[in-house]
Amino acid sequence: MEGPQEIRKLRAISPLAWRVLMVAIVAGLFVLLYVLISGVRGPAPTPRFSVTIIRDGTNWSVTFRDVPGGRLPSEMYLLVRNASGGIALLRTSFADLTVQNWSAHGAEFIDGNPGVPEVQRGDGLRIDTTSYPPQSTLEISDRSALFLSQRLE
């Protein structure tokens, strides 16, 4: 038979267990909400970027077909790797790839849409085949994403 002290112990434990259970349920709901929100949002998709590459005598002629909008030449970068993966041309903005800098970089940004300040479809690159022979890899990016990694062939 239970005495008054044992009944008090059961009553004291019951509200405590109830509070612990309520806190655990609330914490579980917050975790579930966080997982649902994180899963729905996910990583931002990388914009599509595609090119056509043609060997044109002593140069590679790279023409942009699909370009993510709203980026200026100063916000787009070219990096070239040699056949073994080493860096042949450090990450250089399109704005610095000019005919005046040809001897330093061996590459030039061609503005196919001179009336539009952004990089667009029809723009491109002229790249020296002596400096960057077949099996070199072009990497085109902006400050936060790599848009293209393509081997010169």
Average pLDDT over every residue of 11-32: 83
Q: Which amino acid is at 104?
A: A
- What is the model's pLDDT at position 129? 95
- What is the model's pLDDT at position 8? 60
- Give the strands of the sheet with 124-128, arranged side by side: 50-56, 59-66, 124-128, 107-110
- What is the model's pLDDT at position 62? 97
Residue 102, SS3 per DSSP: helix
Average pLDDT over every residue of 116-129: 96
- 7 has a pLDDT exceeding 60: no
Q: Quick one: how far is CA 85 from the chain centroid?
A: 20
CATH 2.60.40: does it fit domain 50-151?
yes
**CB-CB neighbours of 46 under 10 Å:** 13
| pLDDT grade for 17, boundaries at 50, 70 and 90 | confident
| pLDDT grade for 19, boundaries at 50, 70 and 90 | confident
Domain ranges of the chain: 1-42, 50-151
| pLDDT grade for 58, boundaries at 50, 70 and 90 | very high
| pLDDT grade for 14, boundaries at 50, 70 and 90 | confident
Angle (CA) 99-79-108 rounded to 5° is 15
- What is the model's pLDDT at position 2? 61
